[in-house]
């Protein structure tokens, strides 16, 4: 057997035993010694839109990436974003990560990761470009729907099982976008100014957990800048923090087109460059990929002695480690794709993430309905299509309208569109299965909906945002906090004629204004739910599933009530004579409910809020040492789940601390009459703040309060305690 074949066979054997075995490092040394300089440089940049080369003569496979994070993206052409028109690449779409986070159930995150990991493995992908865990900083952020909400503890808790689930199938998770990429406008030129305490307390924890607890095998740099340096080659973030403080041994992948400088990319931790120049062809002498920052310019630099090879060897070592963990590890099988188990998983996650925000007079669940009027474009528009890189080509997507017809076969289901977004429903050559063109005027659509409400037992509006530009969409932010397309007028008009039986289902990944909230008895947050969207919404509306989701971000009454309201905070101030736009995160750690609570501003719907068709009674919280226990009882008539939330306040601190912060949660499923005691260990982590001067987490002695409750604004019991 030739030497390289022997090495390869041994490598596979060891990988099969344990993907982290130290022997792998020795084999990587051997492989490194056989690679030519040209082969190594070829490995650190793309060869197509979503792949980078292997080393064919040594049997080292190519790396194939795919979006992510809600389903496995359709195959695209070698050098273009448009789809390759394969007929075997229609995936299962899972709920958007906002919905996953709203489940407040780490088991759902594990199920999500495993299921999407299997789909990626089946499609022979090395890396899944997700999950996204940028913090929800303000409601205009175009990609908030792809992330896990406004709270670092919640995001950190949910991201770990997602990453582990994906990687348990032999596919690398690529946690994105690291970091401080909290809005879309000017995403390549925004320079974030943030203090260290805020960075460590708010914007880093989810990434840190993904790396140090989840063991993420790859991470994606962000487009924007921090300390005047692009985040795809940012010395502080990638070298000092990620690879230094956190000891990350995986691969840093660039965001597509996020690399801007060879020298910085070489020295500041960028391992694999993708997407430089949009069509991948225009810039190169022979092949544009050769002109990437980590291609010919890098090779020339090494040959001329301007750069050494130490950094290159480190990058290649990381890439080979990724290979042993994924493509070369045969223990994981071949995955599976679009199967009943994946549909079931998507529906369970959606069922657990839907949030019942309001239910006056117990209007929901739907009972004894002879006629149901369904209103709104989102009752039939395909919402898996659009939104940027998370857009999917799905095997199927069940609309709410179809699902309600199937769930209530006895009832007369009437549909009225009510409003129209006017835009085509397509992206990258993938278009929705039906035409959504509309010829009526906005006024006529409202009038028709109002007329159809006559005699309806329920009027259920499916409105909100969608994946069009300037809605929930990558590359652009929303332009307003209010609902688009005249929906406020529609809801007001329907409230006049059907105010006692009106349900509004808000489909979005962002908070929206609801000036009519007082006039609508039932409001549901319906997210983007993927293939099983309609079925899951029908589950909750019909009461087949008792809602148990909780809001992972606050719905303020008005945008100005929130922490980000000055131009310098967002969209930032352009530097004179430069492209750079400075955004100042001057709200500091007061992000989301931390702001509303501390400033005493009452939101429309608070973080952690979510109702049920049953009721839960809490006992008094009891603290023994650092263990806090509380009993919860289902006092209603149907089974249900409650998310018991633990918040901590630091009563006396030398720095301004938020009024309270989430430091624990537990979802408990209870039969009617059943009660359970839930316990939390209050660790030092739950009490500390990041002392920027000392560069460490500090617990200050003094009084703290532990609060347990059903939402951030619904605390049922509080206990004071002292730390010496
Ligand atoms: C997005 C990433 C995505 C990549 C590849 C970029 O524009 O920011 O999230 O993974 O494209 O599609």
How many C-beta atoms lie closer than 10 Å to residue 18's C-beta?
13
Give me ligand 1 centre to Cα 255, in Å.
6
Best residue among 50, 393, 474 to mutate for probing ligand 1, ranked by most atoms within 8 Å of CB? 474
- CB of 262 within 6 A of ligand 1: the answer is no
How far does residue 168's CA lie from ligand 1's centre (Å)?
Answer: 23
Catalytic residue among 67, 89, 151, 255: 255
- State whether the beta carbon of 131 lies less than 6 angstroms from ligand 1: no
Rounded to whole angstroms, how far apart are CA atoms 198 and 194? Answer: 7
Tell me how far the alpha carbon of residue 135 is from its chain's centroid.
9
Q: What is the pLDDT of residue 543?
A: 98
- Separation between Cα atoms, residue 200 and residue 77, nearest integer Å: 40
Ligand 1 contact via 293 beta carbon (within 6 Å)? no
Q: Specify whether the CB–CB gap between 428 and 566 falls below 8 A.
A: no
Is residue 255 annotated as part of the catalytic site, yes or no? yes
CA nearest ligand 1 atom 4, residue: 256
Q: Collect all residues with Cβ–Cβ distance below 8 Å to 686 and sequence separation of at least 6.
A: 646, 648, 663, 664
Name the residue at shortest CA distance from atom 9 of ligand 1.
389
CB 255 less than 6 A from any atom of ligand 1? yes
Query: Candidates 82, 187, 256, 276: which one to mutate for ligand 1, based on the most atoms within 8 Å of Cβ?
Result: 256
Q: Is 129 in the pocket of ligand 1 (CB under 6 A)?
A: yes
- 92 Cβ closer than 6 Å to some ligand 1 atom: no
Ligand 1, residue 223: give the atom nearest the CA.
8
**Tokens of residue 517, six digits:** 């909230």
Does ligand 1 have an atom closer than 6 angstroms to the CB of 562? no
Q: What is the mean pLDDT of each run of 10 residues along the chain (724 residues)?
A: 40 42 89 98 96 97 97 94 94 98 98 98 98 98 98 98 98 98 96 98 98 98 98 98 98 97 97 81 66 94 97 98 95 95 98 98 97 97 94 97 98 97 76 76 97 98 96 97 98 98 98 98 98 98 98 97 97 97 98 98 98 98 97 98 98 96 98 98 98 98 98 98 96
DSSP class per residue in 548-602: ----SS-B-SSGGGSS--STTTTT-EEPTTSS-EEEE-TTTT--THHHHHHHTPP
598-626: per-residue pLDDT in tens? 999 999 999 999 999 999 999 999 999 99
Tens digits of per-residue pLDDT, 446-488?
A: 999 999 999 999 999 999 999 999 999 999 999 999 999 999 9
């Amino acid at each position: 057997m030739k030497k390289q074949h022997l090495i390869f066979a041994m490598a596979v054997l060891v990988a099969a035993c344990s993907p982290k075995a130290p022997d792998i490092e020795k084999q990587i040394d051997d492989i490194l010694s056989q690679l030519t300089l040209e082969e190594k440089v070829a490995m650190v940049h793309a060869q197509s839109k979503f792949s980078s080369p292997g080393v064919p003569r040594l049997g080292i496979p190519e790396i194939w990436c795919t979006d992510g994070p809600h389903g496995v993206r359709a195959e695209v052409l070698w050098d273009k974003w448009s789809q390759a028109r394969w007929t075997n690449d229609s995936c299962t779409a899972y709920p958007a990560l906002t919905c996953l986070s709203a489940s407040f159930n780490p088991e759902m995150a594990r199920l999500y990761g495993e299921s999407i990991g299997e789909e990626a493995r089946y499609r022979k992908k090395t890396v899944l470009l997700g999950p996204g865990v940028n913090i929800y900083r303000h409601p205009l952020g175009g990609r908030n729907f792809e992330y896990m909400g406004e709270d670092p503890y919640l995001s950190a808790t949910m991201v770990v099982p997602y990453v582990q689930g994906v990687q348990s199938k032999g596919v690398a998770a690529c946690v994105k976008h690291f970091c401080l990429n909290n809005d879309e406008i000017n995403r390549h030129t925004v320079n974030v100014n943030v203090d260290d305490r805020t960075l460590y307390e708010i914007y880093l924890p989810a990434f840190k957990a993904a790396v140090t607890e989840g063991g993420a095998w790859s991470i994606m740099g962000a487009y924007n800048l921090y300390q005047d340096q692009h985040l795809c080659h940012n010395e502080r973030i990638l070298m000092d923090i990620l690879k230094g403080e956190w000891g990350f041994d995986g691969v840093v992948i660039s965001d597509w087109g996020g690399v801007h400088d060879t020298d910085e990319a070489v020295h500041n931790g960028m391992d694999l460059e993708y997407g430089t120049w949009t069509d991948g062809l225009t810039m190169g002498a022979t092949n544009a990929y050769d002109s990437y920052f980590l291609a010919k310019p890098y090779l020339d630099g090494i040959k001329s002695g301007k750069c050494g090879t130490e950094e290159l060897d480190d990058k290649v070592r990381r890439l080979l480690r990724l290979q042993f963990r994924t493509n070369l590890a045969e223990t994981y099988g071949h995955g599976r794709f679009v199967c009943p188990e994946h549909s079931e998983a998507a529906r369970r996650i959606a069922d657990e993430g839907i949030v019942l925000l309001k239910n006056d007079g117990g209007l929901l669940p739907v009972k004894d309905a002879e006629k149901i009027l369904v209103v709104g474009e989102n009752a039939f528009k395909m919402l898996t299509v659009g939104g940027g890189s998370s857009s999917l080509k799905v095997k199927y997507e069940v609309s709410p309208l179809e699902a309600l017809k199937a769930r209530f076969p006895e009832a007369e289901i009437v549909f009225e569109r009510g409003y129209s977004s006017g835009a085509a429903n397509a992206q990258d050559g993938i278009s929705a299965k039906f035409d959504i063109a509309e010829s009526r005027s906005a006024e006529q659509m409202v009038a028709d909906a109002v007329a159809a409400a006559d005699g309806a037992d329920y009027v259920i509006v499916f409105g909100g945002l969608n994946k069009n530009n300037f809605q929930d969409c990558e590359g652009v932010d929303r332009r307003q906090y209010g609902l688009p397309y005249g929906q406020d007028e529609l809801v007001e008009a329907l409230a006049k004629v059907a105010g006692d039986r009106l349900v509004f289902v808000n489909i979005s990944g962002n908070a929206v204004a609801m000036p009519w909230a007082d006039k609508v008895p039932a409001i549901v947050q319906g997210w983007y739910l993927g293939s099983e969207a309609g079925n899951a919404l029908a589950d909750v509306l019909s009461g087949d599933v008792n809602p148990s989701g909780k809001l992972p971000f606050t719905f303020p009454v008005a945008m100005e009530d929130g922490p980000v309201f000055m131009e310098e905070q967002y969209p930032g101030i352009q530097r004179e004579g430069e492209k750079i736009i400075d955004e100042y995160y001057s709200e500091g750690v007061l992000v989301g409910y931390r702001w509303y609570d501390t400033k005493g501003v009452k939101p429309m719907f608070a973080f952690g809020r979510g109702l049920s068709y049953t009721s839960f009674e809490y006992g008094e919280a009891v603290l023994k040492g650092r263990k806090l226990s509380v009993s919860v009882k289902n006092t209603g008539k149907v089974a249900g789940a409650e998310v018991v939330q633990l918040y901590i306040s630091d009563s006396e601190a030398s720095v301004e601390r938020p009024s309270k912060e989430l430091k624990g949660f537990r979802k408990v499923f209870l039969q009617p009459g059943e009660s359970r005691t839930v316990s939390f260990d209050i660790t030092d982590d739950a009490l500390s703040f990041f002392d920027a001067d000392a560069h460490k987490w500090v617990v200050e002695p003094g009084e703290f309060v532990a609060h347990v409750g059903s939402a951030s604004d619904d605390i049922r019991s509080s206990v004071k305690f002292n730390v010496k």
